[in-house]
Amino acid sequence: MRPRRPDAASERRLEELRREAESRGEVGAPGVRPSGSPLPEASAGSGYYGLPLLKPPVWTWEVPLYFFTGGAAGGAACIAFAARVTGAPERLVRDAQWVAAIGGAVSGPLLIADLGRPERFLNMLRVFKWQSPMSVGAWLLLSFGVAASAAVATRGAPRDLASGVAALAGLGMATYSGVLLGATALPVWSKHASILPPHFAASALGSAASILELLGHRGRALHKLALVAAASETVLHSLLQVSATTRLAGAFSGPIPLLLRALYGRSRRARTAAAASALLGSLLTRFAWVEAGRGSVASPPRPLRGDAARSGDAVR
């Protein structure tokens, strides 16, 4: 603000304000709220003082980390089964089954740790509810964990059966977490309800193939799988403009490994770098989505989908 010189007009205005204050006990002017309410208004435009209507998720770091481990384990079980039935090297099958089993074993405790009452985790298994993705997920995780462990603990026909069940449940593990986030009231999640499941599936498959590559498996099949996953992630992320963190995660799981693999696919080091990038991207993606959900509660003034309300548009 520039310094001003008092002049006739400015002094007249100040006199006027004093007279108004003397006569009315208060002064009103454009941009000045009446005394007693120097406050934002509750209005159709801002809602109730702009306070968020919805509650942010209460989930802590265990849940996005579980999305990562559960997804990667599911992807590994799928790879193990595909490798098995096509007669791929036994060592690859075995390692993929171990990745699935360990991932499954880590996932359960992570989910339990996030519960408000961890000692009651078995209550998840009192009921089965199709309409609750959380319930479907709990049963998926249980059957996946049992089958994936059985696949590494048994031999012969039981092992093949367990491997098949683990692969089926693993497909569920890799995709259901997208439904879990999508079928909620949070704007940024529910808006992407149909895109999150394929997005998480690509992320899961990419990270499973990457883990196996980093374990020293250099077959063409894993490279191809990781390439397809990176290509899918590139496409899906170009459709998603969610937050800076999801974009960063998208770069790590999409274009970076895609280019490394497409251009330098014969280089061992390039493939290692691509695998590491995809893993980092997948992990980051899960955290970014949970964080985006938290942020979407506060940011938009009108947070609900289907909410094209006009003024006074109450529904009876």
Partner 1 sequence: MTTGFFTDSTLCIGCKACEVACKEWNDIPADPFVFSGLSYDNTLGLGHSTWRHVKFIEQEATIGAGGNAAGRITWQFSSDVCKHCENAGCLEACPTGSIVRTEFGGVYVQPDICNGCGYCVVTCPFGVVDRRPDDGRAFKCTFCYDRQIAGEQPACAKACPTGSILFGDLDELEKIADRRIATLHGAGMTDATIYNPKETSVGGTHAFFLVRGDPWAYNLPPKPEVPTTLLRPAWTAAALAAGAMAVVSLLAFAGGGRR
Nearest residue to 288 via CA among 225, 242, 234: 242
Q: Using H for helix, E for strand and C for coil, what is the string for the chain?
A: CCCCCCCHHHHHHHHHHHHHHHHHCCCCECCECCCCCCCCCCECCCECCCCCCCCCCCCCCHHHHHHHHHHHHHHHHHHHHHHHHCCCCHHHHHHHHHHHHHHHHHHHHHHHHHCCCHHHHHHHHCCCCCCCHHHHHHHHHHHHHHHHHHHHHCCHHHHHHHHHHHHHHHHHHHHHHHHHHHCCCCHHHHCCCCCHHHHHHHHHHHHHHHHHHHCCCCCHHHHHHHHHHHHHHHHHHHHCCCCHHHHHHHHHHCHHHHHHHHHHCCCHHHHHHHHHHHHHHHHHHHHHHHHHHHHHHHCCCCCCCCCCCCCCCCCC
Which one, 12 or 115, has the nearer CB to partner 1?
Answer: 115
Taking the complex as a whole, the smallest distance from the CB of residue 220 to partner 1 amounts, in Å, to 5
Query: Contact with partner 1 (CB under 8 A): which of 12, 48, 109, 298?
Result: 48
Which one, 105 or 304, has the nearer CB to partner 1?
Answer: 304
Which one, 188 or 283, has the nearer CB to partner 1?
Answer: 188
Per CB under 8 A, does 32 bind partner 1? no
Taking the complex as a whole, the smallest distance from the CB of residue 197 to partner 1 amounts, in Å, to 4
Per CB under 8 A, does 89 bind partner 1? yes
Per CB under 8 A, does 178 bind partner 1? yes
Query: Contact with partner 1 (CB under 8 A): which of 36, 156, 157, 269?
Result: 36
Taking the complex as a whole, the smallest distance from the CB of residue 187 to partner 1 amounts, in Å, to 11
Binding segment (CB under 8 A) for partner 1, from list 152-160, 200-208, 245-253, 271-279? 200-208
Taking the complex as a whole, the smallest distance from the CB of residue 53 to partner 1 amounts, in Å, to 5
Which one, 197 or 254, has the nearer CB to partner 1?
Answer: 197
Taking the complex as a whole, the smallest distance from the CB of residue 157 to partner 1 amounts, in Å, to 21
Answer for the pair 196, 179: CB distance below 8 angstroms, yes or no. Answer: yes
Site for partner 1 in 256-315 (CB under 8 A): 293, 297, 302-309, 311-315
Residue 236 in tokens: 């899906």
Taking the complex as a whole, the smallest distance from the CB of residue 6 to partner 1 amounts, in Å, to 30
Which one, 247 or 294, has the nearer CB to partner 1?
Answer: 294
Query: Contact with partner 1 (CB under 8 A): which of 165, 225, 284, 288?
Result: 225
Taking the complex as a whole, the smallest distance from the CB of residue 1 to partner 1 amounts, in Å, to 26
Binding segment (CB under 8 A) for partner 1, from list 177-185, 238-246, 253-261, 264-272? 177-185
